[in-house]
Structure 1
Amino acid sequence: MSKYSSVKNNKISLDYRISFYSEDVPWICLILPFGLKLDVANSFFDYFHNQFNIITYESRLILDSSSLQVIDGELTVENHVKDLMVVLNHKNIEDTILVGYCSGAGIALAAANQNPNRFSYLILVNGEFVLLNDRDCVTQYGIDIDNLLPIAAIDRSKAEFILNRLQPKKSYKVRNTFWRKFTLFTTTFF
């Protein structure tokens, strides 16, 4: 059974979700894409709750009330990494499998680089993230997404229009059993 709670990093409240299965199994920490609520991880929790202890959290400030003023520099990679560490430290999680999904993959990379002894595995899932702060590492897909996001932010109808156009059009065959399970999971969760 998972529980929802929150912890503060300075004045910023971080909502998180946790599921504890056993002291004998490893932890998985899922870093969600920016702007997604904890419930998006329902399938992730359903799939792994009998094998791992699980924790995830919402990114800072993005889902907070629109009346909240975001100060310049609040949404830096460094602050997102600090948030991750605050959540893990709050629950005394010293070693975890780190799963970064989409924009969460960029945070996972930075966190693993800054705290390599805290993570037993690093799993980066789909999405686009820039390596080494180098624009030459950005794919055409990433450039397209960067151009579409400001349009999607205009209003809900534009966001829905763009989201409907970004749905995958082909499926992939998977041969290995582990990847077949993972693929089933990714199609449900992602």
Structure 2
Amino acid sequence: MFKKYLLIFGLLLSSGSFAANPQAVIETSLGTVTLELYADKAPVTVANFVQYSNDHYYDGLIFHRVISGFMIQGGGFEPGMKQRQTNAPIKNEANNGLSNLRGTIAMARTNDPNSATSQFFINHKDNNFLDYASPAKPGYAVFGKVIDGMDTVDRIARVQTTRVGAYSDVPAETVKIISITIEDSKTE
């Protein structure tokens, strides 16, 4: 499935649809975050995120895991911790030279390095221990960074959290993703 995304993304790049790196605007119930997506460093991951965004998959989902001083995670659960169906997993692109620094966005995954689907996290501090080190320590794929709205990330990171069933670090009050819009960064 990720080959399909890579092909589509390659066509977008060659057609000039994305002259450089696209931007994503995440509208949340606590404010707006604008990201620059590193299409040149993580083409499969960016194509995956763009596809989910353009399909309006993220609309109405929540930030379901928030740990201040670590990260905020969203992109997989509806309010009430109901998990949304995803597309097939993508290849881990953590070995791309990018680091999990404060304000970067990376793909969440299970213990299988190639299991990322829709969930992402924004690093609330430098988390270099999440970087690619070797095939035995595959890391988490950074694919962009916050270029505006880090105050919103900080606001989300400060919310009270609780436990909901098997899930810990869930915001006590819902932090909703209203929409994620992809904007072409090229100038006309």
TM-score between both structures, scaled by the size of structure 2:
0.28
Q: Which has the higher helix share?
A: 1
Task: Tell me which of the two structures has the higher relative contact order, counting C-alpha pairs closer than 8 angstroms and 6 or more residues apart.
Answer: 2
TM-score between both structures, scaled by the size of structure 1:
0.28
Q: Which has the higher strand share?
A: 2
